[in-house]
């Protein structure tokens, strides 16, 4: 690319073996960054993605850390920084997407999702911030979800973590900006990833379902990657503590309304608003 905005930047992406994390890592590499890709239990693509980046002339390596163990999450940034020669950007992407009926959820299930989705993020950020503060600053980007703002049944634990990430981002940003570390958050909407395609099955019509969104299509990991690059660059230097929704208009459309492409036949406000 002619405009390599991340040239010379050293980036750690957690949960980078597949899906959004993999897409984000690839976008940063294309923009010139050296990238450390984290994975949890099985490599699930982190190694092959790192190899792809290296073969394209970039710098990348995969790192394993169990995010059910807070100590491993906190130690990861230092391990990545040793390889990268420092750390400029942390993308806290790792997370478990999980649904289960509220009344059937066990304490073990609850703890597992919270450990990975928010506790690990907390301590990984702590490890990264310590390194960044020593070197004069950096950027931390957290990955939330539209589930922080809108409800779907059987997602009470998942939504709890995603809402917590929004609050964590806002509060952490005020503390760390004093150390020249900007903290922001991305809340993706419907992003089509390989695991989701497998779950939905061969009969799923992605184009048809995409037309239900105002954008007219379902997003891809690269859409999140490009937003992350903007938020990690100096172009967004005045954005601090914010959560940016990247959802194709999903949250902008009230779910109780009819098809947004069809003019409404109802006339709310008749007798109260002039001209109605």
- Would residue 240 count as lying in a domain? yes
- Would residue 4 count as lying in a domain? no
From first CA to last CA, the distance across the chain in angstroms is: 54
**Looking up tokens 């949890």, which residue turns up?**
40
- Would residue 275 count as lying in a domain? no
To the nearest whole number, what is the mean pLDDT of the chain? Answer: 92
Q: Is the pLDDT of residue 269 over 60?
A: no
Q: Report the DSSP beta bridge partners of residue 143.
A: 186
How far apart, in whole angstroms, are the C-alpha atoms of residue 226 and residue 233? 11
CA distances 263 to 11, 46, 139, 219, 257, Å, are 47, 47, 44, 26, 11
Mean pLDDT value across residues 136-165: 96
Structural domain including 22 reads: 10-246
How far apart, in whole angstroms, are the C-alpha atoms of residue 123 and residue 69? 10
- Would residue 172 count as lying in a domain? yes
- Would residue 258 count as lying in a domain? no
How far apart, in whole angstroms, are the C-alpha atoms of residue 213 and residue 224? 17
Q: Is the pLDDT of residue 50 over 50?
A: yes
Neighbouring C-beta atoms of residue 42, cutoff 10 Å:
9
Residues above pLDDT 90, as percent of the chain: 82
Q: Which of 31, 35, 72 shows the shortest CA–CA distance to 50?
A: 35
What number of H helices and E strands is found in the chain?
A: 9, 7
- Would residue 93 count as lying in a domain? yes
Q: What residues have CB less than 8 Å from 56, skipping those under 6 apart? A: 29
Mean pLDDT value across residues 51-62: 97
In the chain, the number of structural domains is: 1
- Would residue 133 count as lying in a domain? yes
Q: Which of 2, 126, 32 shows the shortest CA–CA distance to 11?
A: 32
How far apart, in whole angstroms, are the C-alpha atoms of residue 188 and residue 160? 16
Write down the pTM of the prediction.
0.93
- Would residue 105 count as lying in a domain? yes
CB 45 within 8 A of CB 17: yes
How far apart, in whole angstroms, are the C-alpha atoms of residue 164 and residue 59? 33
- What does the pLDDT read at residue 267? 65
Q: List pLDDT tens digits, range 177-209.
A: 999 999 999 999 999 988 788 878 888 899 999
Q: Rounded to 5 degrees, what are φ and ψ at 161? A: -65, -40
Residue 111 belongs to domain with CATH number: 3.40.50.720
Q: Catalytic amino acids?
A: 144-145, 158, 162
- What does the pLDDT read at residue 1? 42
- What does the pLDDT read at residue 2? 45
- What does the pLDDT read at residue 261? 76
Question: From start to end of the chain, where are the E strands?
Answer: 10-13, 34-39, 60-64, 89-92, 138-143, 181-188, 243-246
How far apart, in whole angstroms, are the C-alpha atoms of residue 49 and residue 58? 11
How far apart, in whole angstroms, are the C-alpha atoms of residue 114 and residue 92? 14
Q: List pLDDT tens digits, range 208-246.
A: 999 989 999 999 999 999 999 999 999 999 999 999 999
The pLDDT confidence band at residue 253, using thresholds 50, 70 and 90, is confident
Q: Is the pLDDT of residue 35 over 80?
A: yes
Q: Which of 85, 84, 105, 98 shows the shortest CA–CA distance to 37?
A: 84
């Amino acid at each position: 690319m002619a405009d390599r905005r991340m040239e010379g930047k050293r980036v750690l992406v957690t949960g980078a073996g597949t899906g959004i994390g993999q897409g984000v890592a690839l976008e940063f590499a294309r923009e010139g960054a050296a990238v450390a890709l984290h994975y949890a239990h099985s490599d699930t693509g982190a190694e092959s993605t790192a190899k792809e980046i290296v073969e394209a002339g970039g710098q990348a390596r995969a790192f394993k850390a169990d995010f059910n163990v807070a100590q491993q999450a906190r130690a990861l940034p230092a391990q990545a920084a040793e390889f990268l020669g420092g750390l400029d950007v942390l993308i806290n992407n790792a997370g478990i997407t999980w649904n289960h009926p509220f009344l059937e959820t066990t304490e073990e299930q609850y703890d597992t999702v919270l450990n990975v989705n928010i506790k690990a993020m907390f301590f990984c950020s702590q490890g990264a911030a310590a390194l960044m503060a020593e070197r004069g600053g950096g950027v931390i980007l957290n990955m939330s979800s539209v589930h922080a703002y809108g409800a779907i049944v059987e997602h009470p634990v998942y939504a709890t973590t995603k809402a917590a990430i929004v609050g964590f981002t806002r509060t952490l940003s005020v503390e760390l900006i004093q150390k020249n570390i900007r903290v922001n958050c991305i809340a993706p909407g419907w992003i089509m990833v390989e695991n989701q395609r497998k779950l939905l099955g061969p009969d799923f019509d992605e184009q048809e379902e995409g037309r239900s969104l105002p954008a007219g299509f379902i997003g891809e990991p690269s859409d999140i990657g490009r937003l992350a690059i903007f938020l990690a660059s100096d172009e967004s230097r005045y954005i601090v503590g914010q959560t940016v929704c990247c959802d194709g208009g999903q949250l902008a459309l009230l779910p109780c309304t009819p098809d947004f492409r069809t003019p409404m036949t109802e006339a709310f406000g008749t007798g109260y608003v002039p001209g109605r």
